Structure 1
């Protein structure tokens, strides 16, 4: 009976909704979408959330743009991809990170929830006794 109660409590901590919630913004339109991110609007997604950092380098400096939202298709993996190119002093770089938990595209490091990790580890230790 005690084991059943613990399993029910653990199941209650997991997200059970059908639609993934992602932050949606662009730093070219909203200052709060940049490096010092403050929560703004959210949208429902079917696949994954993303955070993109685009840097355009020109001879006199660089322009950094942030955007967050839904990824249109399932990405190959829930990691970060970085692409770039150009010549000395001129070019562009882009880093795009994907994640698949609610509101996961807010932080700079898109990792699974620490609460979920702790719960799984605690359950593994608890059930080793039985």
Structure 2
């Protein structure tokens, strides 16, 4: 059900234990190559089991599960809760917040420079000898 063809992979076949990674970089457990153009950032396609086994990175984040088949959300949350040894309420509660600013420092500085340029143009035009 995963659209692996969008990554330029003709077939998706993880080993029986779910190990292995499809990537555009050379790695030890590579199952196939994801074609990229020039020096693209590393892309890795792996099972979630493989992803959570790697303890070198944080798993904090917001996850969305999609499937073309019917799935039981409570069962999935229970399995994650058992695996991470965290109660379900803690697992489902967001631990971070993010915000997007409409007016940031760069926009403010650009506006000030623009206003000063217009003011200078007006002064030169009005007080031209």
Q: Compute the TM-score of the two structures, normalised by the length of structure 1.
A: 0.19
Larger radius of gyration: 2
More helix by share: 2
Specify which structure has the bigger relative contact order, considering alpha-carbon pairs within 8 angstroms and separated by 6 or more residues.
1
Q: Compute the TM-score of the two structures, normalised by the length of structure 2.
A: 0.19
